[in-house]
Amino acid sequence: MIIDLHIHTNKSKCADPRMTLGAIVTSAINRGLEGVGLTDHWHPITDKTIFFENQKERDALGDLPLTVWLGVEADVLTLDGTIVGEDEFDIPVDFVVAGVHHFHLPWIEGPAKDEPLEEALHRAHRQVLGAIHNPLVDALAHPWSGLAKYTKFADFRYEHVKLEWLEEEAAAAKKAQKPLEIPTWTLVDCDGTMSESFLAAIVRPLIKYGCPLYVGTDAHRPERVGAGVRETLDILLAEGAAPEQLWMPQAIQSRRW
Ligand SMILES: [Zn+2]
Ligand SMILES: [Zn+2]
């Protein structure tokens, strides 16, 4: 299924004001997507009513040629995988994505700046494992590529991520059936070139270890909705991912609401 499971509406403050649900759906249909997942940020400062508004808007859409899932990208607050909203998790969503490696945000417990890179990366790995083990979490947004994007560690490269960590993450993710995101923006650049280092150091091992995966754009503006999803899926399948390795949220849709 051609689906983009990481999209921010304009209710995420960092998103383009044009990101209405209508605009997202139109962009997705124009790209030939079969489904979209709305994943607005849930920070400790977020007004939770935005998730109820998304629900209302989604329910008002009527019949569409694609599925619209309600999701959330919840900050992982601590290195052991605690997410925001644990004490009162009452938002109407079909799936919960843990935003791992949001280390640039001030309320996130990240590795210390002066830590040696290997130790810091080991803690980042522990955060991924912690989020997988968190019962509230269904999927993990941008593991490792989020670290590369927002990193405090200027000399970080994907090659620094140890295979044994990926193997452990993949095994935990497989056991819990919680997919790790393959972000289109990491694997395929806007000009269509592929990141060989991300593919070789992260994607291939995760495929090999049988890790459940999903594809997301992290779109913050309409032009990015679904961008690179087809290409990324083609790469994953060409690299040997089994179709059943590619996760979608519908199986859990009835679980919460
Ligand atoms: Zn994120
Ligand atoms: Zn995001």
Separation of alpha carbons 159 and 196, rounded Å: 11
Cα 118 to averaged position of ligand 2 atoms, centre (Å)? 26
Cα 237 to averaged position of ligand 2 atoms, centre (Å)? 24
Q: What percent of the chain has pLDDT over 70?
A: 94
pLDDT category, 251, cuts 50, 70, 90? very low
Cα 73 to averaged position of ligand 1 atoms, centre (Å)? 7
pLDDT tens digit string along 11-23?
Answer: 999 999 999 999 9
Q: Would you say residue 76 has pLDDT above 70?
A: yes
- Determine the pLDDT at residue 221: 97
pLDDT tens digit string along 203-227?
Answer: 999 999 999 999 999 999 999 999 9
**Whose CA is closest to 215, among 238, 239, 236?**
236
Separation of alpha carbons 152 and 135, rounded Å: 29
Q: What percent of the chain has pLDDT over 90?
A: 74
Q: Average pLDDT of 77-105?
A: 91
Sheet containing 3-7: give its strands across.
3-7, 35-42, 67-75, 95-99, 139-141, 180-183, 213-216
Cα 148 to averaged position of ligand 2 atoms, centre (Å)? 14
Q: Would you say residue 254 has pLDDT above 90?
A: no
Cα 127 to averaged position of ligand 1 atoms, centre (Å)? 14
- Phi, psi for 255 (deg, rounded to 5): -65, -40
Q: Are 4 and 37 in contact (CB under 8 A)?
A: yes
pLDDT category, 55, cuts 50, 70, 90? very high
Cα 5 to averaged position of ligand 1 atoms, centre (Å)? 12
Q: Model-level pTM? A: 0.93
Question: Rg of the chain over CA atoms, in angstroms?
Answer: 17
Looking from the CA of 166 toward its CB, the CA atoms found within 13 Å total: 22
Q: Are 94 and 70 in contact (CB under 8 A)?
A: yes
Q: Would you say residue 148 has pLDDT above 90?
A: no
pLDDT category, 147, cuts 50, 70, 90? confident
Q: Are 54 and 47 in contact (CB under 8 A)?
A: no
- Phi, psi for 75 (deg, rounded to 5): -60, 135
Cα 12 to averaged position of ligand 2 atoms, centre (Å)? 9
Which ligand neighbours the alpha carbon of 5 most closely? Answer: 2
pLDDT tens digit string along 20-36?
Answer: 999 999 999 999 999 99
Fold of 3-256: TIM Barrel (3.20.20)
Going by C-beta distance under 8 Å and a sequence separation of 6 or more, which residues neighbour residue 165? 121, 122, 125
Q: Average pLDDT of 75-80?
A: 92
* Mean pLDDT computed over every residue of the chain: 92
- Determine the pLDDT at residue 68: 96
Q: Are 2 and 246 in contact (CB under 8 A)?
A: no
Spell out the long-range contacts of 188-195 with Cβ–Cβ below 8 A and sequence spacing 24 or more. Answer: 188/228, 188/231, 188/232, 188/235, 190/227, 192/231, 194/235
- Determine the pLDDT at residue 52: 97
Would you kindly state where each structural domain of the chain is located, as residue ranges? 3-256
At 119 the three-state DSSP class reads: helix
Q: Average pLDDT of 82-98?
A: 93
Cα 45 to averaged position of ligand 1 atoms, centre (Å)? 15
Cα 128 to averaged position of ligand 1 atoms, centre (Å)? 13
Separation of alpha carbons 226 and 228, rounded Å: 6
Which ligand neighbours the alpha carbon of 39 most closely? Answer: 2
pLDDT tens digit string along 168-215?
Answer: 999 999 999 999 999 998 888 666 677 889 999 999 999 999 999 999
